[in-house]
Amino acid sequence: MTGLNLETARRVLDSQPFSGLMGARITAFGDGGATLEIDGREELQQHNGFLHGGVLAYAADNALTFAAGAALGPAVLTGGFSIQYLRPAIGGRLVARAFVVHSGRRQAVARCDLFTVDGSGAETLCAVAQGTVLNVTSS
């Protein structure tokens, strides 16, 4: 138990200038999980009109790290992650749902499923990611 909550997670995300540029928001946090959402604005698209892969990678990285932070505490950094793009990200909103698969004292492994959501609320899985997040508190 980390003592962190959704309000604290939102403050942390809001303190990240790049997250503000992306327009990211945390909509769920706790119990080894986190959900990050980004509106699919035109300036986040690539030349074919899909959300840019870098936007998906950012969302996966942050969602993975927040999920692991729910298990490990606030002093965490991404150790590495991989992402697999399954289909173009088309839709009004990107939702990245991450959850911890395994957690120890010093690191956690988390998985993230990334969905686009259309105007009717239908979700389409567009990418999956997995990463290792490290607890960086000095012991």
Are the beta carbons of 38 and 22 closer than 8 angstroms? yes
* pLDDT tens per residue across span 57-96: 999 999 999 999 999 999 999 999 999 999 999 978 999 9
Considering only residues 115 and 4, tell me which one the structure prediction assigns the higher pLDDT.
Answer: 115
Q: What is the 3-state secondary structure (H, E, C) of 41-60?
A: CHHHECCCCCECHHHHHHHH
C-alpha pair distances (Å), 107 with each of 4, 38, 116: 17, 27, 29
Q: Of how many residues is the chain composed?
A: 139
**CB neighbourhood size of 12 (10 A):** 17
Q: What is the pTM of this model?
A: 0.93
Task: For residues 3 and 111, give the distance between their C-alpha atoms in angstroms, rounded to a whole number.
Answer: 22
pLDDT beyond 80 at 133: yes
* pLDDT tens per residue across span 25-34: 999 999 999 9
* pLDDT tens per residue across span 88-100: 999 789 999 999 9
pLDDT beyond 60 at 138: no
Contacts of 99 by beta carbon, 8 Å cutoff, 6+ apart: 32, 33, 67, 110, 111, 112
Are the beta carbons of 135 and 75 closer than 8 angstroms? yes
3-state secondary structure of 35: strand
Q: Among residues 129, 78, 83, which one has the least CA distance to residue 107? A: 78
